[in-house]
Structure 1
Amino acid sequence: MNVLLKMRYLILIFCTCCFQLATAQTFSYPKLATQGKTIGTFVPNNWKAIDTAYGDLNNDGLEDMALVLEYNFPVTERRAYGDSETELIKEFQKPRILAIFFKQKPSNGYQLVLQNNNFILRSEEGGALGEPFKELSIKNNTLNLLFEGGNDWRWKLAYEFKYQHKQWALIKANNTYYNITSGEISDKTYDFIDRRLKQVDGNLFSRNAANIISEEILYFTDLRTLNDFKKPWTWEITKDNFL
């Protein structure tokens, strides 16, 4: 490498480091607009909407809206892993926001009812498969989120939240963990209303012939909500069993 190329390389590294430092020091989550009629009203500068969903969330017959927003630049974040209170890992990635809006009548606009800066997995949190965020949808008056990731061992996480008592309560979830080579699979379905966990262990290639099915009661005090559930993989429901 000649002297000129070395200088260009060093300048590039220096500029990248300065950008990362400046971004980390100046970044803060914006407060989204509380009222508006279009998606553009709720997307701050340097942010973009990467997914949208429409449907009735509060059972009033009107079509509400949910958005996932992503910042245009990576910043340093401290993200919870495992124990959501004590185990924080520093990540350099693009922040995301989940926002939910109720449709208003007669204005035909939207009112912000939730801004969550933590729960949506970032693009770097899916392991070797890359982007883990797969789907945002509204079905049967519930908000549904789907994530996938992993490598040889892969996982799928599905969450179903319902608006009740002015909270977004987690009422159902599914956690699938499987090996793409051996076919070994464990599929757990949670019903937090009935407080039941159904687990299916078997093999992807045996077509359910040798599956082992078990059920157990879930013990917890209150339903988890989007306000106190920091992010996927941070709720230890039973010992060494994270959702």
Structure 2
Amino acid sequence: MNKKYSLLVTTAFLFLFQSCNYSNKNQTSTEKEKNSVKEENASEIVAPKPQTGKPINDFIPTGYKIFQEIKGDLNKDGVEDCVVIIKGTKKENVITDEYRGKLDRNRRGIIVLFKKNGNYIQKVKNYDCFSSENEDGGVYFAPELDVSIEKGKLYVHYGHGRYGYWTYTFRGKNNDFELIGYDSSENSGPIINSETSINFLTKTKVTKTNTNENAESGDEVFEEKKEKIKVDQLIRLSGIKDFDELETES
């Protein structure tokens, strides 16, 4: 082999070696970039997204509208929750009364929403547990429904004017709201004839009866009676079909 041929072979070998070395380095760099991108994408996929709720309107079922909104803290976390009273919108339940004119007799329901991260999460729903606000009370007017929140409890109150009232007290527990109390008053105008208070947690019923037949407002003389009642299971708000037919005693 002459010197000129040997020099050509050596030059070709060096060129081939450098080309392979550059290719390997470039491939390694490209693989690192690809791996880096994969790691970034994997990080984006694995990272948990914050769970957010929805605005109030998203919880209103088809065929219903918002009748009333009540705000208050129901789970004692310092955040204002919301109770929504909804009302059906079926046209066939809108009637014309001979004396009262057009009346919407669609029933009402309740949705309890807890607020979290600025939006709401549904806790309880019961779409038809309340009668309409336009019921016929016969000789008397129909009682008026009032729902309120106080000290973490939910109150469903029926006011019957001069004839008295009755109130159901609910407390959030077991992924629902349980009936823990019932209070009522039977009146004759300003005079209280009797009062009833039931504590379903202690299974105790207290009845106060006015024994002064000639009593005026404030002159009532009450005879008190305490008794134990049977409570097998607390009534849940989600399971009440009709408050008008709700039995508080077994």
Compute the TM-score of the two structures, normalised by the length of structure 1: 0.65
Equivalent position of 2:82 in the other structure: 65
Cα deviation 1:137-184 (Å, max 9, x = unaligned) = 11111111111238x8x2412111111121210011112222339x46
The 8 Å contact of residues 66 and 100 in structure 1, kept in 2 or not, is answered as yes
Distance 2:182 2:126 in 1: 19
Distance 2:112 2:165 in 1: 23
The 8 Å contact of residues 200 and 231 in structure 2, kept in 1 or not, is answered as no
Equivalent position of 1:149 in the other structure: 160
- Between Structure 1 and Structure 2, the one with more strand by share is 1
Distance 1:60 1:223 in 2: 24
1:40-189 aligned within 5 A? 40-43=57-60, 47-73=64-90, 75=92, 93-105=105-117, 108-125=118-135, 127=137, 128-130=140-142, 132-133=144-145, 135-149=146-160, 154-180=163-189, 183=191, 185-189=193-197
Structure 1 residue 109: Cα displacement = 0.4
Distance 1:146 1:177 in 2: 14
Structure 2 residue identity aligned to 1:56 = D
Distance 1:221 1:46, change over 3 A: closer
Q: Which has the larger radius of gyration?
A: 2
Equivalent position of 2:54 in the other structure: 36
Q: Secondary structure at the match of 2:76?
A: coil
Distance 2:181 2:175 in 1: 18
Structure 1 residue 233: Cα displacement = 4.5
Distance 1:216 1:125, change over 3 A: farther
Distance 1:228 1:185 in 2: 32
Structure 1 residue 121: Cα displacement = 3.3
Distance 1:230 1:111 in 2: 23
Distance 1:155 1:238 in 2: 19
Distance 1:102 1:236 in 2: 28
Distance 1:186 1:75 in 2: 40
Identity of aligned residues (%): 20
Compute the TM-score of the two structures, normalised by the length of structure 2: 0.63
- Between Structure 1 and Structure 2, the one with more helix by share is 2
Distance 1:233 1:132, change over 3 A: same
Equivalent position of 1:20 in the other structure: none
Distance 1:45 1:237, change over 3 A: closer
The 8 Å contact of residues 95 and 122 in structure 1, kept in 2 or not, is answered as yes
Q: How many residues align?
A: 185
Distance 1:46 1:230, change over 3 A: closer
Distance 1:215 1:131 in 2: 28
Distance 1:125 1:225 in 2: 25
Structure 2, unpaired ranges of 5+: 1-51, 94-103
The 8 Å contact of residues 122 and 131 in structure 1, kept in 2 or not, is answered as no
Cα deviation 1:206-243 (Å, max 9, x = unaligned) = 5254211111112111111113333334344447xxxx
Equivalent position of 2:242 in the other structure: 231
Structure 1, unpaired ranges of 5+: 1-33, 77-91
Q: Secondary structure at the match of 1:227?
A: helix
Distance 2:222 2:157 in 1: 24
Match of 1:218 among 193, 206, 229: 229
